[in-house]
Amino acid sequence: MLLHNTTACLILLAAAKRFEMEHQPIYSNQGGHYGISNPGYVPTAGGAPAMFAPPVADSQGPSAPPASMFDSMPGYEGTVAGGGGFLPPPMPAVPTPQPQPGPEQPHWNIPSISEDTARDAFVLFASSKCCYSSAPAKDGVITDMEAFNTYRYRLETFTESRSTEWSHEPYSGQTVDAYAQPPPGPWDIPAQAPNFFLNGKKTIKVPYTSSVKSCHSCVGMGRQPCKDCAGAGNKVCWVCNGSGYRHGDDRCHHCSGRGRENCSRCHGQGSKQCDVCRGKQQLLVYINLTVKWTNNSDDYVVEQSSGLRVDNLSKVSGKELFRDSQYMVYPVMGFPDPSVVNAAQRLINDHQARFSQTSRILQQRQTIELIPVTKVTYTWKGNSHLYFVYGNEFKVNADNYPATCCCTIL
């Protein structure tokens, strides 16, 4: 019993000593580099490749070092495990600026388009369709034009979000600075935003997080068994199917009668350079900070009873009646259409709830447009038809155009 206890103690002491040596930081005064020792380093195997070997698994191994190896990075504990994630912004050090109410807007309107404008738009529409005859557009008689101008309210919230994840690259002498000093926090790293309301993305290597590790994919070997030949360096000859002969005693000239040919993928080596470390055997592992700027936009279009589908209006512009841009906008006041006022209040509250918890709001902008919509009734060959002209672009919608044909492409 005493012998067993002594043996167990020696094993525990040896394991503890090995753990201490493997995880002890090493410091180098050459070039000011600092790093972590690399346990499990294995030199590249030498010697000639084996002629035959058991099949290798199709998997290339883990795609990244285990997250548990890096959870102790000061200031980033648990924030990059499992591939990273979005980080909530810190509370502002100063009180949040309050939005200022904008001026009340008078009622605006757009004059109805002329009959010539409506006809020209209709002719252009018909000529753009390969299967439409232009006769109804040119010869039809306009009998009625009715305006259904409508409002579109748009709220844009320009946000900045940040996320972190572990990344790596082959180690070839880059600076190693982990634990030299605490790294800056994710929201303390400066990043120049693009112009307001333009999407953008930037990836920044977090200072003082870089360390050197043995490559997790090849276990520090620098090479991996070739999947094509299962590490043998050669494969069964595809011409003679391994027999060495093609017809009777006619030796296979492709493999010189050996029945096997060198693997073209690994050039007969049985292994190929590791794709992860590119043969360097070691990786520089560090935290990447991804900064994304996103323009989040939502529209509200006042329902109009013309019969034109609202989704058509998303492709056109209107006359801008109101624009307000500041850090946080205030809901419009005094606008003649109460549905626009209600939509502004609802969307502003929704954006505040959706984006303030996971990102930093940098700027907001709200606009109101008046989109012209004209319903045109016309007769052609004794029948009544209609179409719509809408937007500043004078787009046309005519779902039941009376003169279409089926085209066949030969």
Average pLDDT over residues 49-71: 45
97-106, 191-200, 278-287, 301-310: range with lowest mean pLDDT: 97-106
Residue 123: φ, ψ to 5°: -65, -40
Q: H/E element holding 160? A: strand 150-170
Closest among 95, 89, 94 to 292, alpha carbons compared: 89
Token pair, residue 132, equals 């439409």
State the Rg of the chain over Cα. Answer: 35
Residue 201: φ, ψ to 5°: -150, 140
pLDDT tens readout for residues 248-287: 788 898 888 888 888 888 888 888 899 999 999 999 999 9
Say if strands 150-170 and 383-390 run parallel, antiparallel, or are unpaired: unpaired
Average pLDDT over residues 104-121: 77
Only one residue has tokens 């001026």, namely 103
User: Amino acid letter at 132?
Assistant: Y
When pLDDT is cut at 50, 70 and 90, the band that residue 406 belongs to is low
* CA 313 to centroid of chain Cα atoms: 28
pLDDT tens readout for residues 202-245: 999 999 999 999 999 999 999 999 888 888 888 888 888 888 88
DSSP 206-271: PTT--EEEE-TTTTT-SEEE-TTTTTSSEEE-TTTTTSSEEETTEE-TTTTTSSEEE-TTTTTSSE
